[in-house]
Structure 1
Amino acid sequence: MFSRLMLSSCLLVFLLLTLLWQWLDFSHEASVELVQQSLHKELAEHMAHINPMLSQGITSDAALKEAFHDFMLLGPSFEIYTLDPGGRVVAYDAPQEKILSPQVDLTRIQAFLNQQALPVFGTDPRGQEVEKIFSVSELRDPAGALTGYLYVIIGGEEFDHWQSAVLARHQQRTWLVNLLISMLFALLLFALMLRFMTAPLTRLSKDLTGIRQQQHKGNSPTLPGQYEGAREVTELANEINSLLAQVTRQHQQMKHQQKAKQDFLLHLSHDLKTPLTSLLGFIETWRLSGDDSDRDKLIELAASSGHKLQQLLAQLLELCALENQTIEPKISRFELSEFLLDIHQSFESKALSRGVNLQMEGGELQLNTDPQLLTRILNNLLDNALRYTPSGGQIVIKPLWIKDSWQLMIRDTGSGMHQHELEALTQGQPKAPCFEEASPLPQLGVGLAIVRKLATMLNCSIHIESEPGKGCSVYLALEMVELSSAQKQQSTA
């Protein structure tokens, strides 16, 4: 980058100095031409006055050439011509082939005679399409009639020849000096720019080095954010601070996720260990006991523990599938009463065996959701409710119109839930996944973790009201619509 800056600075300074040099040279030439034309403004008039033939208005005579020759010897930078009233060259002291422009522009001559601001440029008879400063005077005969003009070029061919020779001699030296000055100026400019531009970068580099020390001290890494004289560096520092803050948040989130995952695995290991210990204990008791009278009871208890273990493993696999997003919801519309009837038939025998009254009311409503995923939600909630509802208790599932929307309520008269358990289940709903920050849901078991994840997939919020010893009410905000008259008649038929 510094090499490119150096090269660009040198080229830019060289170009600027070259343009400045050309402008100064042009201004100098214009000033010189103004001074010369001003000094020799009346030159042609004096020549016409002192020459007898020119003073008589004679424009073409052999003697004029000798007079012109004498004048040009005294002033080698002048070229003298006589013109007829139409501007055509008549007399001159030069070979015929030197006259490349035999016609002189009279408008420039009139501008000069009318005292137009100098410098005024006119036609050079010895150069095509070349204009030079001049002096001119009218030639008139004794009767006062215009016979032509005395036209004097200031800085003629001889002057141009010597000037070109001198410039050619000094041109290389001039360009060399210009190049050296450009390089020195560019180096100085580059040094100043480098010092000015890199000072904020140097401070930024030091601040970035200090971030490591901040991390060692346990502080949140950040940059000052203000670097005077460099708006771009300040913006870069702000962007770095944003990235550092994002990285810090992600790091903290990873730590919380890791802790939540560890807590989940700890709780899961306890849930798996309990039925496994029971299973092994029953088997060991049966193996050591010599009495076969308790064999059927021990086998039944061992089988029950095995089923619990199998259920936990199945739930764990289901939760992993949900976390890996391998399940996509398939939304459809179906009647709530028929759906709850299937759920009731699935849990009726289990509820009867536990002495729990299971009631379900569907009403004349339709659901617009995934029936398979909703079935798994209700299965987990009902299984949990049956587990904690004592004999003689009651579990009710029915829709309720609450706050301008339909919600499906699952209420039981079981042991209820503590406040911290409610916060764990409802915090971050419905977007937070199972292992996200501030989400200790695994403490409530794999089943409720599955409920929360499935509700997230269905974009369904969960609201729970519960007190220890007074039961629990779970509200699912599902999309429900009432059946139309035609749909009611069709359903009845």
Structure 2
Amino acid sequence: MDPYRVGRGIQICRRTFMLKSLSGQFALYAAGLFLLVGVGVGSWTLASYQTYGEEVEQRLHRGLAAHMVYDNKQLKQGTIDASILKDAFHTMMLLGPDWEIYALDTTGRLLAYSAPPGKVLRQRISLQPIHSFFAGADFPLYGDDPRSATSQRIFSAAPIENAEGKLTGYLYVIIGGEQWQTLADMLATSRVLQDSWRLMGAALLFGLVLLVLLFVLLTRPLTKLVRRFEHFTQHDFSRRNEPEVRHHRWTPAEVVSLNQGFDVMAGHIEHQLEQIKTTEQLRRELISHVSHDFRTPLASLQGYLETWLLQSAEQRQPQLIEVALKNARQLNLLVEQLFELVRLEGGDIRFNPEPVVVAELAYDVVQRLQLMAEARGVRLRVETDIHQQQALADIGKLERILVNLIDNALRHTPAGGEVTIKIAAANDAIYVAVADNGCGINEAEVPLIFDPHYRASNSVNGEGANTGLGLAIVQQLVALHGSEIAVQSSQQQGSTFGFSLPLAS
């Protein structure tokens, strides 16, 4: 994945879809919430204002119907005559143009009214609100509006009784007419409500702006963290040249933890990438070395076999087959060492420690390699004063260590030289060393001789040449025993490879 494209994509998304950012979404949600709150509070205020206004108006006109009955001679006597009351209602409405006056019988049926013909939609209304009015119920009280099939309005009511005190009907007065019927009418005609709405809108807007600014300040550390991610991806997953991150006293603890977590994650990614690059480099070097190591014995093997085939049956020389066989064995040894090194580095190898008499094992190895040493003119011997001391080791792998170290020493020791296996007690361990008085190793090259395929300046060419894997295998095998191999060397004086093994309990 191209880190530049990743970072560029983040920038484009941030610029194009601002509402997808945390601050943008919060501003949008806060604006919507404030709008809903404003509408809700405003509607509640208008409804409360209307209710309060109706309550006040109903209280002020509580005795209106009773005064009309008292002032009208026919009603005062308990007479309800529509033809006579029509003129009386007209006169009453001159005093209150917003009133609607109705005369009812004792069942709630309309007998006379002040409304124009065709305006009345109900001929009977419920008497329950009227009885509640007489019983002193809390205002506002709403009764049926004869001009509407469903709505109710505030009213004033009074009983109509004859001279004997018998109830003959009710005078029912709708207060306020039709002009206060909607909230919109109230808002359009009330200066107080208009100013209240403006003030409430300004307060909500100010609160919204203040809240968004506060949220932006609180999320600024998160924005900086996003920029750190962008910088990290744009610079090949590296924190090089990253601006210094500073936390203030008021920085939220969660944001500090996020930044610390990012540092841990980024460091882990950087370490892994570095390991990948190193592994890739080692892989390429290994392939290069293996190709070179394979090429020489294969070319030699092929050359000798082709020469042997080109000769006639009578002239074919067995020496050619012997040399070809030697190269084949060298090639097989290289493959075996490669597989062994891969298993050691991958941890895919069994380690079975047991009590081992190190001196006896050393004598066995010397005896096996004695012919090789004599062929080179080198003296091979064991030097020890602990012949029965046991160490805790894997006998097969310890033998492999000794063979590789002795083979390395023999190849770098000239004729007349000496290779010594030294075994001695050292505190709670047994010290094992292979020393020679050969050509020695350059001091600068000592740390490199355990790298696979590294060829030191004292490398031996020709028959004594090796693959360069022997010491790398030794280092891995010694590490399996919980130890480290140490090297002491001086040019033209010789080298000593030593390590320690734990005593067997």
The TM-score with structure 1 as length reference comes to: 0.54
Q: Is the 1:122–1:134 Cα contact (8 Å) retained in structure 2?
A: yes
Matched to 2:63, the amino acid is E
**Residue type at the aligned position of 1:137:** A
- Asked whether the 8 Å contact 2:338–2:469 carries over to 1, the reply is no
State the Cα deviation string for residues 263-301 of structure 1 (Å, max 9, x = none): 9999x99xx8xx99xx9xxxxxxxxxxxxxxxxxx9999
Moved more, 88-97 or 185-194: 185-194
Provide the residue aligned with 2:162 in structure 1.
141
1:106 aligned residue (110, 127, 142): 127
What CA distance in whole angstroms lies between the structure 1 residues aligned with 2:184 and 2:97? 13
Once the two structures are superposed, residues 124-175 of structure 1 have per-residue CA deviations (whole angstroms, 9 ceiling, x without a partner) of: 01111101111111111111111111111011236649985984999xx99x
Deviations 1:62-107 (A, max 9, x none): 1112111111122111101111112222211224532212222222
Letter in 1 for 2:94: L
Q: Which of 253, 256, 261 is the equivalent residue of 1:239?
A: 261
Contact 2:180 2:186 in 1 (8 A): no
Within the candidate set 30, 40, 49, 1:19 is matched to: 40
Q: Deviations over 1:22-71 (max 9, x none)?
A: 22211111111111111111111111111111111223331112111111
Aligned partner of 2:334 among 313, 336, 343 = 313
Q: Which residue of 1 aligns with 2:136?
A: 115
Amino acid aligned to 2:65: A
Change (3 A) 1:74 1:416: farther
Cα distance, 1:240 vs structure 2: 1.6
Partner residue of 2:308?
none
Q: Which residue of 2 aligns with 1:399?
A: none
Who is 1:29 aligned against? Answer: 50
The residue number in structure 1 matching 2:94 is: 73
Q: After superposition, give the CA deviation of every residue in 1:434-462 in whole Å (9 maximum; x if it has no partner).
A: xxxxxx7869x745866998999xxxx75
1:97 match: secondary structure: coil
Deviations along 1:351-406, one digit per CA (max 9) or x if unpaired, are 796799xxxxxxxxxxxxxxxxxxxx98765444445579xxxxxxxxxxxxxxxx
Q: Paired residue for 2:221?
A: 200
Equivalences for 1:376-387 in 2 at 5 Å?
382-386=399-403
C-alpha distance in structure 2 between counterparts of 1:315 and 1:227, whole Å: 63
The separation in 2 between residues aligned to 1:226 and 1:309, in whole angstroms, is: 68
The answer (yes or no) to whether the contact 1:221–1:244 under 8 Å persists in 2 is: no
Q: How far apart, CA to CA, are the structure 2 residues paired with 1:162 and 1:259? A: 81
In 2, Cα distance between equivalents of 1:215 and 1:93: 89
Letter in 2 for 1:242: V
Tell me how far apart the structure 2 counterparts of residues 40 and 79 of structure 1 sit (CA, whole Å).
13
Residue type at the aligned position of 2:146:
P
- With structure 2 as the length reference, what TM-score do the two structures score? 0.53
**2:384 matched residue in structure 1:** none
Confirm whether residue 51 of structure 1 aligns to residue 55 of structure 2.
no
Q: Identify unmatched segments of 5+ residues in structure 1.
A: 280-297, 332-346, 357-376, 391-412, 423-439, 476-493
Q: 1:77 touches 1:157 (CA, 8 Å); kept in 2?
A: yes
Q: Contact between 1:10 and 1:187, CA under 8 Å: does it hold in 2?
A: yes
Distance 1:256 1:81 in 2: 102
How many Å separate the matches in 2 of 1:253 and 1:162? 74
**8 Å Cα contact 1:139/1:148 also seen in 2:** yes
1:388 & 1:192 partners in 2: Cα distance? 74
CA contact (8 A) 1:222 1:241 kept: no
Residue in 2 aligned with 1:42? 63
| Secondary structure of the structure 2 residue equivalent to 1:45 | helix
1:471-490 map, 5 Å: none
Identity score, percent: 27
